[in-house]
Amino acid sequence: MKLTGAQVLFEALQKENVDTIFGFPGGAVLDIFDELYRRKIRNILVRHEQGAIHAADGYARVSGKVGVCLVTSGPGATNTVTGIANAFMDSIPVVVLTGQVATSLIGGDAFQEVDITGITRPCTKHNFLVRRIDDLGRIVREAFHIARSGRPGPVLIDIPKDITKSLIEDNDISWTLSLPNNNKKVSIEDACAKALDMIRQAERPLVISGGGVLLGRAWDELRTFVKLLNVPITSTLMGLGAFPASDPHWLGMPGMHGTYYANMAISNCDLLIALGVRFDDRVTSKLDAFAPHAKVLHVDIDPASIDKFVKTNLSIASDCKPVLQLLNKWISDKSFTMPEKQTKAWLEQIQKWKEFAPLTYCQSDKIKPQYVVETLYRLTEGKAIISTEVGQNQMWAAQFYHFDYPNSFITSGGLGTMGYGFPAAIGAQVARPDKVVVDIAGDGSIQMNIQELATAVNYDLPVKIVILNNGFLGMVRQWQELFYGKRYSHSNINNVPDFVKLAEAYGAVGLRATRPEEVEATLRKGLDVAKTVIMDFHVEPEEGVYPMVSPGAAISDMVLRK
């Protein structure tokens, strides 16, 4: 039996158990969309290709599967580049299928031709240009394998139009992966034995967990490890939810807008156990003042992330899960516990830091954004999936929505992409229709991909958008206030749409609160409606995110309040 290239593509997707893609059609992918019409795979028709890649990213983070998006050639492909770079920075497994002009036209500046494999080479884990239909099935299988294995990341497959129309005998299709064998088992036993010795000698140990724990699905092992040792833990922005924020061992998020007590613990610990972190500059700030008294034990699946910024005393290039499993087994088998006298003073000191500078804010006659997030947490009992845009809204969400569950916080960590949160929330809602999904947004960032309201309404997705509307590009304004003499150069964006009317124009529900006493009722109403909802909260215009570490300062040198 003969199959077209488009049919081969869908046979390959089915072998990878793909049931949902996020796409937008165009000339170069018409044959693919025509075949999609006959298939049971669900396509979520977005309104912009950037929305497609962000939705696939959000879907991947929440579902644990590889996200898939499908776009046409030229501008369709280039519109995904920001989302691809975002997934690359945050190690999210997505496969991006792009259309391309016919192979005979490549390099001739044909209509809607662009070298998307060249453009995305720096921000994909790997990419492919399909030149023969014989290779298509194998390439798709390889793309999924690469995307999900090792340190995950985005893979792009560029498929020329003539390849999708070509015919091939089904017996001639190659499905065999042609990849180097990098699956050699590396022994971690010797390194884990040394790690246990380091832990045994520590008097002020601290765990810092990152996104690698979530990507490696090692949250149960992490929780067991912390409880067995009775040690404090802090989690980076990308690691939120791997350890319950309600647990007394948890110190909150470290870094530029981290808690005082997390940063002081890092600055005074004598052993830093780093699990699945890459020591981003927003976490470390001034490198030579980061964990200055500590030996560093670093576990990460990517050898390139080890000793890149923070020099280690012991490193283990491995997924976090097997390392934690082995350490937990040994700790239990040997009935190993941290001597109470050894850790008592350390835990008491941390408690003093917590009492000295708790994470707080001052109420006023205007709506405080922290209060909105705090109230949202209480009303959802911490069980919602929260996405964010980027800026102040992102930091307030990280600080005041206390994440107890893994994969419940999805945000653009490495690239800091405005416009990410809403389409990512759509992807999350598609992956988990049983969950409440909320995008915490700013009035600036929500406008970056506001057109995806049509997508959410079209598919009856009850995504909630909580806009912290302060009339500014809030984080830009805060920096201008602190470091540029309050010269608010082009950060004032008072001329914004009426978000309630805008929601209604798209067929969604629009709600607004302008006074503190309206916050809870507005949130209750929005959460109770089984529709797409925008909730527009007019918050204190010049409220800042604190604590804050000034650029280049040590993380122990914090501005606690304005």
Indicate which residue of 65, 125, 161, 368 is catalytic: 161
∠ CA 239-389-459 to the nearest 5 degrees? 105
Would you call 418 a catalytic residue per the annotation? no
Indicate which residue of 2, 15, 111, 383 is catalytic: 111
Would you call 169 a catalytic residue per the annotation? no
Rounded-to-integer distance, Cα 272 and Cα 222, Å = 15
Beta carbons of 236 and 211 less than 8 angstroms apart: yes
Beta carbons of 77 and 98 less than 8 angstroms apart: yes
Beta carbons of 62 and 28 less than 8 angstroms apart: no
Nearest to 397 by CA among 408, 386, 405, 406: 386
Would you call 16 a catalytic residue per the annotation? no
Rounded-to-integer distance, Cα 246 and Cα 401, Å = 10
Helix (H, G, I), strand (E, B) or coil at 72: coil
E strand or H helix at 287 = none
Indicate which residue of 112, 325, 342, 349 is catalytic: 112
SS3 content of the chain, % helix, strand, coil (to 5): 45, 15, 40
Would you call 112 a catalytic residue per the annotation? yes
Rounded-to-integer distance, Cα 394 and Cα 373, Å = 10
Rounded-to-integer distance, Cα 143 and Cα 126, Å = 8
Pairing state of beta strands 409-410 and 385-388?
parallel
Q: Can you spell out the DSSP letters for 39-51?
A: SS-EEEE-SSHHH
Strand locations in 384-473, DSSP E?
Answer: 385-388, 409-410, 437-442, 464-469
Rounded-to-integer distance, Cα 382 and Cα 484, Å = 37
Beta carbons of 149 and 23 less than 8 angstroms apart: no
Would you call 389 a catalytic residue per the annotation? no
Q: What are phi and psi of 234, to 5 degrees?
A: -125, 150
Catalytic residues: 49, 111-112, 161, 475
